[in-house]
Amino acid sequence: MSENVLEVKDLSKKYPSFQLSDVSFSLKKGEIMGFVGRNGAGKTTTIKSMFNIVHPDSGMVLFNGTPFLDHELINKQKLSILLGGVDYYPKTRIKTLTQVTKRFYQNWDGPKYENLLKRFALDENKRITELSAGMKVKYGLAIALSHHAELLVLDEPTSGLDPISRDELLNIFENLVDEENVAILFSTHITSDLEKCADTITYIQKGKLLASKSLKDFKQDYLFIKGPVTEVFEKIKNKAISYHLRHNEAEALFKKENYPQNSDYQAYIPDIDTIMVYLEKESGNEEPLI
Amino acid sequence: MKNLLYKELKLAIHPMVWFFSLFGLMIFIPNYPNCVFVIYTMMAFIFLFQGARENKDIFYSVLLPIKKRDIVKARFYSIASFELLSIAVAAIAGVCTYFMGYGPMGKQIGSMTDGGGIGIPPTFAFFGFVFLSFAIFNSIFLNIHYSKGFKMLVPMIVASFFGVLPVLAAEVMASMSNTPLENISYQLDVISADTLLCQLIVLFSGIAIYVGSFLLTYFNSAKKFEKTDL
């Protein structure tokens, strides 16, 4: 039996102004995958296409080794998708929303839900609109875990949260993976979150998959240099993915295999933030305006 | 489906919607056009669909372990329940006015015996036209709503305009007692042995059109909803 809880194969979806092209990746049980890309890269479209919320033109999604759509209703019992925080029925009390939601899940675990409410300090009598952004995500997690979801798909769960709330949420993710062996796929453009807890990274750029590998391997694919603009820089700059010049200082990101060995510059393994910024520079290279 | 209907009752349907079903009691108002309750009933759809949209009901529902088609089915059950409840309230009010002898309420005195009075009284034929009105309203509004990305305002206006025409026509036809169309007026206005057949034909035709168009609209809407990228 496949160890992968989720396999996405060649997922494509064409819109008039955007195209998702052959996105493939897989996620194992007990793994946290960061799904990254800049705004509009296709993260949400991918998630929606995976679970039939939008209809992909081609491609396949396997859930626990079998096509997701073959047993859609059974599979949906075992996963939880959270698009942002819980922002539906904002004027409804948590108690009422849960009372309705739990009826749809065969494996609803009431005592576990009560425990999670206590653990997340959620007041059942509060309305959704009264919850902070972080609490909305926690409520979504409480619902997901109370029906024993094996896969949590969270679309930008940490966006709009302050650093402390983000850190708290990331710790919860880690605990869930360790304690419950769930798999978590979470999309974000806040790359520091990924440094903290992601096991693997799937990077999407303009609807195309750029990489899907372990965090360590992903970072080691790149080298970053910083230093004065010299003749050496002028020679090697064309091999850079992109670079930035200011006050005669240069910064540049290279694919590891393209970085010249005889360069005078000290090369570092960059953080994801740096990789993302330099990968996404529109023109590829950036000369100073003046 | 049971769970989805529970969701409709507990979350999706604004309590005001049920309040609107009580507009059937307007039948009690003396010398007031009965078709008005149909217009109020149609207005309740604003609460039903606008509320669902503001609460992001579709996104809540689509993430649940249910068939997409069943989301539409549950909504159609809600719509039918609401419309039939409204008609039932109006029908009970109509029967009451009949047994009250039109005295204390002054309701269209004599209209059921001599074809007089303003507009159409709550006869079998009137309710046939009510069913026809709802059939037209549902067909236009729901088909456009589910086909055109859940649009609300324009389909609501168009559906209400065309939907109200049958009951308006009934009001006009029933008021032509002193014209060459007097017999039509009499047939719609009066419940008696010589008009009962015509009355029942109109009623059951209305019901048949309502049921038939409702089912067709459901199948079309469910198909469109399943194909829609949310």
What per-residue confidence (pLDDT) applies to B107? 39
Residue with the larger pLDDT of the pair B113 and B94: B94
Q: How would you classify residue A248: left for phi > 0, otherwise alpha for psi between -120 and 50, otherwise beta?
A: left
Residues of B with Cβ-Cβ distance to A83 under 8 angstroms: 59, 63
What per-residue confidence (pLDDT) applies to B27? 84
What per-residue confidence (pLDDT) applies to B141? 94
* Chain A touched by B66 (CB under 8 Å): yes
* Chain A touched by B230 (CB under 8 Å): yes
What per-residue confidence (pLDDT) applies to A100? 94
Instruction: Answer yes or no: are the C-beta atoms of B126 and B188 closer than 8 Å.
Output: yes
Residue with the larger pLDDT of the pair A190 and A206: A206
Of A196, A181, A188, whose CA–CA distance to A44 is shortest? A188
Instruction: Answer yes or no: are the C-beta atoms of A24 and A11 closer than 8 Å.
Output: yes
Residue with the larger pLDDT of the pair A240 and B215: B215
Could you tell me the pLDDT band of residue A240, with boundaries at 50, 70 and 90? confident
> How many structural domains comprise chain B?
1
Could you tell me the pLDDT band of residue B203, with boundaries at 50, 70 and 90? very high
pLDDT tens for B158-171 read 999 999 999 988 88
What per-residue confidence (pLDDT) applies to B104? 34
Could you tell me the pLDDT band of residue A171, with boundaries at 50, 70 and 90? confident
* Chain B touched by A121 (CB under 8 Å): no
Nearest to A104 among B11, B64, B68 (CB): B64
Indicate whether B1 pLDDT > 50: yes
Q: Is the CB of B229 less than 8 angstroms away from the CB of A92?
A: no
* CA Rg value for chain A: 21
Instruction: Answer yes or no: are the C-beta atoms of B176 and B100 closer than 8 Å.
Output: no
Could you tell me the pLDDT band of residue B108, with boundaries at 50, 70 and 90? very low
Q: Which burial class, exposed, middle or buried, applies to B138 when counting CB atoms under 10 A from its CB (0-12, 13-18, 19+)?
A: buried
Q: Is the CB of B229 less than 8 angstroms away from the CB of A48?
A: yes
Q: How far apart are CA A141 and CA A121, in angstroms?
A: 13
Residue with the larger pLDDT of the pair B230 and B108: B230
**What percent of chain A shows pLDDT beyond 90?**
26
Q: Which of A34-43, A219-228, B211-220 has the highest mean pLDDT?
A: B211-220
pLDDT tens for B66-107 read 988 999 999 999 999 999 999 999 999 888 887 776 533 333
Whether ipTM > 0.95 holds is no
Q: Strand A32-36 relative to strand A183-188: parallel, antiparallel, unpaired?
A: parallel
pLDDT tens for A49-98 read 998 889 999 999 999 889 998 888 999 998 888 876 678 898 999 999 99
Indicate whether A260 pLDDT > 70: yes
Element (H, E) at A277: helix A272-279
- Whether the CA torsion A262, A263, A264, A266 is positive or negative: it is negative
pLDDT tens for A263-279 read 777 888 888 888 888 88
What per-residue confidence (pLDDT) applies to B102? 54
Q: Dihedral, CA atoms, A200, A205, A207, A209, nearest 10 degrees?
A: -40
* Chain B touched by A241 (CB under 8 Å): no
Q: How far apart are CA A162 and CA B230, in angstroms?
A: 29
* CA Rg value for chain B: 19
Instruction: Answer yes or no: are the C-beta atoms of A151 and A27 closer than 8 Å.
Output: yes
Helices (H), B100-195: 111-114, 124-147, 153-174, 182-189
Q: Distances from the Cα of A202 to the Cαs of A27, A69, A184, A188, B45, in angstroms? A: 10, 23, 12, 11, 44
User: In Å, how far is A57's CA from the nearest CA of chain B?
Assistant: 12
Instruction: Answer yes or no: are the C-beta atoms of A222 and A259 closer than 8 Å.
Output: no
Residues found in chain B: 230
* Chain A touched by B64 (CB under 8 Å): yes
Looking at residue A127, the DSSP 8-state letter turns out to be B
| Domains with residue ranges and CATH for chain A | 4-218 (3.40.50.300), 221-279 (no CATH)
Amino acid at A27: L
Average pLDDT over residues A138-147: 86
Residue with the larger pLDDT of the pair A133 and B180: A133
Could you tell me the pLDDT band of residue B138, with boundaries at 50, 70 and 90? very high
Amino acid at B9: L
* Chain B touched by A11 (CB under 8 Å): no
Token digits for A107? 């494996």
Indicate whether B150 pLDDT > 90: no
Average pLDDT over residues B38-52: 86
Q: Strand A151-155 relative to strand A183-188: parallel, antiparallel, unpaired?
A: parallel
Q: Is the CB of A73 less than 8 angstroms away from the CB of B227?
A: no
Task: Name, in order, each residue with C-beta under 8 angstroms of A101's C-beta and a sequence gap of 6 or more.
Answer: A143, B64
Determine how many CB atoms are found less than 10 A away from the CB of residue A113: 19
Could you tell me the pLDDT band of residue B111, with boundaries at 50, 70 and 90? very low
Range of the domain at B142: 2-227
Instruction: Answer yes or no: are the C-beta atoms of A62 and A51 closer than 8 Å.
Output: no
Q: How far apart are CA B208 and CA B132, in angstroms?
A: 9
Average pLDDT over residues B108-127: 64
Indicate whether B229 pLDDT > 90: no
What per-residue confidence (pLDDT) applies to A9? 93
A4-8, A178-182, A281-285: least confident range: A281-285
Average pLDDT over residues B105-120: 49
Instruction: Answer yes or no: are the C-beta atoms of B202 and B191 closer than 8 Å.
Output: no
Helices (H), A181-237: 191-197, 215-220, 231-236
User: In Å, how far is A121's CA from the nearest CA of chain B?
Assistant: 23
Instruction: Answer yes or no: are the C-beta atoms of A52 and B71 closer than 8 Å.
Output: no
Q: How far apart are CA B75 and CA A282, in angstroms?
A: 46
Q: Is the CB of A104 less than 8 angstroms away from the CB of B66?
A: yes
Q: Is the CB of B229 less than 8 angstroms away from the CB of A55?
A: yes
pTM confidence score: 0.82
Q: Distances from the Cα of A149 to the Cαs of A65, A83, A134, in angstroms? A: 16, 16, 20
Amino acid at A109: D
Of B43, B121, B57, whose CA–CA distance to B86 is shortest? B43
Average pLDDT over residues A153-178: 82
Element (H, E) at B3: helix B2-7
Looking at residue A271, the DSSP 8-state letter turns out to be P
Nearest to B230 among A53, A89, A97 (CB): A53
In the numeric block, the tokens 């393209």 are attached to A258
Q: Which of B9, B14, B229, B230 to mutate to test the interface with A (most CBs of A within 10 A)?
A: B229
Residues of B with Cβ-Cβ distance to A80 under 8 angstroms: 63
What per-residue confidence (pLDDT) applies to A225? 86
Instruction: Answer yes or no: are the C-beta atoms of A13 and A56 closer than 8 Å.
Output: yes
Q: Strand A19-28 relative to strand A151-155: parallel, antiparallel, unpaired?
A: unpaired
- Determine the 3-state secondary structure of A101 from DSSP: helix
Half-sphere exposure of A118 (CA within 13 A, CB side): 5
* Chain A touched by B59 (CB under 8 Å): yes
Per-residue DSSP letters for B49-85? Answer: HHHHHHTTHHHHHHTSSS-HHHHHHHHHHHHHHHHHH
Average pLDDT, chain A: 85
In the numeric block, the tokens 């991918």 are attached to A46
Chain A CA closest to residue B66: A73
